[in-house]
């Protein structure tokens, strides 16, 4: 409450009506209507206590307590006498008040919602306001300033989750949208003030941390209010104020936006990471996509059904059929891959991250540089396996493709697969209208992954892996093919009159040199080829094939995974241990016979270049 008052410059109400309220008589005081998007009643209680002359009405999704429960055991009322709770279930409904009933309407922290919800609440507010009345709004913008890469990615993911749950949610700036609606509805003399609000505290300096630690040793830590800190002129005052305000700001942001998506109740097709607490130690289980009839087998002879988890929130604790506590969590991508059953050994997440980084993928977003890039970015992966690398690649190019319609995404989560053919990628069985919608989406993609395996069961498992992760979020960025490299690429090259079309290619197959010629033919100039093999001798074998056949490629780097390194030149710290693999011809005066030999050794230290004058 102190932070709220601080943000409104020391006032509970900040419009001119606050002067009229303080001069009003107790029984003839004005009426205040509060609509609080945070979902609690604290601020309306505070307003009622601050302005005892006014009647405060709070619109809340909760019904008011019965009269017999409105008195605490000590005999004191649970709410001020001038406070009235009124149930309001839907922002699309009319307010349960007569026209021109209030002197001021306070609309605090509207949550993420469609534009129609905001329009209805503002229209109803104008209807119930008396002539000359005021509306006060406290709006938290969904976009944050001074974000890094992780922050921008988190906000983008949050908006995608909100869009999936409520497709008609407005993603324009909430303050700008509300101001525009106020003008259309008929409000005038609109005044606005922008206040910066931290949602993350700064990292304390080492010296400050040590000083605080010594100062607090052997002494009970004192609890100080924000008001005390504002009056403090010590060097750490700003840091302490920021810490408290950022904690409140973070909670406000969670209530306004994150609860609209990330912590929404678990629904069908969600995958959960379940932490089951046993008698002595916990066990972890990755659930199948939730369906009411799904049975999830746990440890210690216990199990649960999908119906017990659907509708729960993340971090909720439920009991299995043996009485063990089970914590609900959302798996990250690495946890999801490692805990998924598989038919083939995966490229583990740390290696997949390194490979994705080495590919140096920079796709353009939709409507960005369209003239310079008429063809989509196309990446080829041979050796789909379980789909671990495929999922990482799909995530890397996801921003280049248009949003997936929620109706189509929902259908993809439920559809089974058609029987694969050599000339068509794996396709889900969809109704005609949805199949046409999917084909239109495929035609509009700006980046695509072509992943191929000669075993149908591997391709089907990889398809399932991507479909089940975050409700098919990255599925449509990938085409799954079954067959041989030569069949697939030769057919594509023939369609394009021999023109190369691949920007990147990854070969995770045995005897890579036997299949690489067609891949190299399909690579664009300056294209990048990565081979992923289990032994250094296979790298040397591939390099020898390149030299013997005069292939138009050169070896840029050889890395041993997963040891990380950082060096100069092409060894750019992307991960892995660099090796020196090359073919040399010994000098005539050496012990060699003059025949080419191969050198295979890990690089040690920085490269040294001898300069001759």
The whole-number average pLDDT for the span 131-148 is: 87
| C-alpha span between 533 and 537 (Å, rounded) | 9
Taking phi over 0 as left and psi of -120 to 50 as alpha, with beta for the rest, 103 belongs to alpha
CA distances from 64 to 85, 120, 495 (A): 5, 23, 70
* Segment among 58-72, 223-237, 325-339, 548-562 with least mean pLDDT: 223-237
State residue 371's pLDDT score. Answer: 45
Contact 133, 103 (CB under 8 A): yes
Residue 271 has pLDDT above 90, yes or no: yes
Beta strands 325-329; 478-482: pairing state: unpaired
Which of 31-40, 114-123, 253-262 is predicted most confidently?
A: 114-123
Burial 510-537 (b: 16+ CB within 10 A, else e): eebbebbebbbebbeeebbbbbbbeeee
Which range has the worst mean pLDDT, 140-144, 151-155, 396-400, 405-409? 151-155
The number of beta carbons lying within 10 Å of the beta carbon of residue 376 is 18
For the beta sheet containing 558-560, the strands, ordered from the edge strand earlier in sequence to the opposite edge, are 558-560, 577-584, 597-602
Contact 388, 352 (CB under 8 A): yes
The pLDDT of residue 613 is 32
d(CA 398, CA 478): 10
Percent of the chain residues past pLDDT 70, beyond the cut: 81
Q: What are 430-482's pLDDT values in tens digits?
A: 999 999 999 999 999 999 999 999 999 999 999 999 999 999 999 999 999 99
CA distance to 21, 92, 311, per residue, from 117 (Å): 30, 6, 24
- Name the strands in the sheet holding 447-453, side by side, starting at the edge strand that comes first in the sequence: 478-482, 447-453, 377-382, 502-507, 523-531
91-96: Cβ within 8 A, 24+ apart: 91/117, 91/120, 91/121, 92/116, 92/117, 92/120, 93/120, 94/124, 95/33, 95/59, 95/124, 95/125, 95/127, 95/128
What pLDDT score does 567 carry? 40
* Residue 304 pLDDT class (50, 70, 90 cuts): very high
Residues 6+ apart with CB under 8 A from 211: none
Position 564 pLDDT exceeds 50: no
DSSP code at position 327:
E
Q: Is 413 helix (H, G, I), strand (E, B) or coil?
A: helix
Q: How confident is the model at residue 286 (pLDDT cuts 50, 70, 90)?
A: very high
DSSP string, 479-501: EEEES-HHHHHHHHHHHTTT---
Element (H, E) at 382: strand 377-382
- Report the C-alpha gap between 176 and 182 in whole angstroms: 10
Average confidence (pLDDT) over 498-506: 96
Calculate mean pLDDT across residues 246-264. Answer: 75
What angle do helix axes 432-443 and 406-414 make, rounded to 10 degrees?
A: 110
**Do you find a cis peptide bond into 219, omega within 30 degrees of 0?**
no
- What pLDDT score does 281 carry? 86
| pLDDT tens-digit series, residues 207-251 | 444 333 333 444 444 455 555 655 666 666 667 777 778 888 888
pLDDT in tens, 386-418: 999 999 999 999 989 998 998 999 999 999 888
Report the pLDDT value the prediction gives residue 601, as an integer from 0 to 100: 78
Those residues with Cβ within 8 angstroms of residue 288's Cβ, 6 or more apart along the chain or in another chain? 271, 294, 296, 468
What are the structure tokens assigned to 253, written together?
């942001």
Share the mean pLDDT of the chain: 82
Select the more confidently predicted residue: 164 or 521.
521
Residues 580-599, mean pLDDT to the nearest whole number: 69
224 vs 569, residue with greater confidence? 224
Q: How far apart, in whole angstroms, are the C-alpha atoms of residue 523 and residue 380? A: 9
Question: Given this model, what pLDDT does residue 443 score?
Answer: 93
> Does residue 421 surpass a pLDDT of 60?
yes
Q: CA 229, CA 242: separation in Å to the nearest integer?
A: 10
For the entire predicted model, the pTM comes to 0.58
| Winning range, highest mean pLDDT, from 2-16, 78-92, 143-157, 537-551 | 537-551
The set of residues, in sequence order, having a beta carbon less than 8 Å from that of 19 and lying 6+ positions away, is none
Euclidean distance between CA atoms 332 and 158, whole angstroms: 15
Which residues are 83's β-sheet partners?
A: 56
Name the band, by pLDDT with cuts 50, 70 and 90, for residue 575: low
Does residue 349 contact residue 393 with C-beta atoms inside 8 Å? Answer: no
């Amino acid at each position: 409450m102190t932070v709220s008052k601080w943000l409104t410059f020391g006032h509970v109400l900040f419009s001119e009506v606050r002067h009229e309220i303080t001069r009003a008589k107790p029984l003839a005081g004005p009426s205040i209507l509060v609509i609080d998007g945070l979902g609690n009643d604290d601020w309306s209680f505070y307003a009622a206590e601050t302005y005892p002359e006014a009647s405060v009405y709070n619109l809340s999704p909760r019904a008011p307590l019965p009269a017999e429960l409105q008195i605490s055991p000590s005999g004191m009322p649970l709410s001020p006498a001038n406070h009235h709770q009124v149930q309001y279930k839907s922002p699309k409904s009319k307010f349960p008040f007569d026209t021109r009933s209030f002197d001021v309407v306070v609309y605090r922290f509207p949550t993420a919602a469609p534009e129609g919800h905001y329009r209805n609440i503002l229209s109803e507010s104008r209807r119930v306001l008396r002539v000359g009345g005021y509306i006060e709004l406290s709006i938290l913008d969904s976009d944050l300033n001074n974000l890094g890469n992780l922050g921008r990615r988190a906000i983008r993911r949050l908006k995608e989750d909100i869009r999936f749950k409520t497709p008609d949610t407005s993603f324009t700036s909430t303050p700008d949208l509300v101001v525009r609606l106020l003008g259309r509805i008929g409000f005038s003399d609109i005044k606005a003030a922008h206040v910066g609000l931290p949602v993350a505290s700064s990292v304390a300096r080492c010296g400050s941390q040590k000083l605080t630690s010594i100062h607090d040793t052997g002494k009970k830590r004192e609890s100080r209010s924000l008001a005390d800190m504002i009056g403090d002129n010590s060097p750490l005052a700003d840091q302490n104020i920021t810490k408290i305000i950022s904690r409140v700001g973070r909670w406000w942001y969670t209530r306004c936006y994150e609860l609209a998506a990330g912590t929404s109740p678990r629904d069908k097709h969600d995958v959960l990471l379940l932490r089951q607490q046993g008698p002595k130690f916990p066990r972890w289980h990755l659930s199948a996509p939730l369906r009411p009839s799904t049975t999830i087998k746990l440890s210690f002879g216990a199990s649960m059904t999908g119906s017990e988890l659907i509708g729960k929130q993340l971090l909720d604790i439920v009991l299995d059929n043996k009485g063990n506590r089970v914590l609900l969590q959302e798996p990250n991508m690495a946890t999801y891959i490692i805990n998924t059953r598989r038919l083939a050994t995966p490229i583990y997440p740390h290696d997949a991250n390194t490979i994705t980084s080495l590919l140096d993928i920079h796709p353009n977003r939709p409507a960005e540089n369209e003239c310079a890039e008429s063809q989509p970015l196309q990446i080829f992966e041979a050796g789909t396996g379980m789909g671990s690398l495929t999922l990482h690649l799909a995530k890397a190019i996801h921003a280049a493709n248009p949003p997936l319609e929620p109706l189509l995404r929902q259908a993809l989560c439920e559809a089974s697969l058609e029987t694969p053919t050599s000339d068509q990628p794996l396709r889900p069985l969809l109704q005609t209208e949805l199949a046409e919608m999917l084909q239109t989406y495929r035609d509009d993609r700006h980046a695509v992954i072509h992943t191929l395996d000669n075993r149908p069961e591997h391709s089907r498992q990889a398809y399932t892996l991507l479909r089940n992760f975050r409700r098919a979020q990255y599925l449509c960025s990938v085409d799954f093919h079954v067959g041989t490299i030569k069949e697939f690429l030769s057919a594509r090259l023939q369609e394009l009159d021999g023109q190369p079309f691949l920007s990147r290619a990854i070969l995770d197959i045995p005897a890579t040199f036997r299949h690489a010629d067609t891949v190299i033919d399909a690579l664009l100039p300056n294209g990048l080829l990565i081979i992923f093999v289990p032994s250094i001798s296979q790298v040397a074998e591939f390099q020898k094939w390149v030299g013997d056949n005069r292939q138009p490629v050169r070896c840029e780097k050889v890395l041993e995974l997963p040891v990380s390194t950082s060096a100069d030149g092409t060894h750019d710290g992307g991960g892995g241990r660099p090796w020196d693999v090359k073919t040399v011809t010994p000098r005539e005066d050496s012990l060699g016979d003059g025949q080419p030999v191969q050198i295979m050794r890990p690089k040690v230290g920085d490269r040294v270049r001898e300069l001759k004058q």
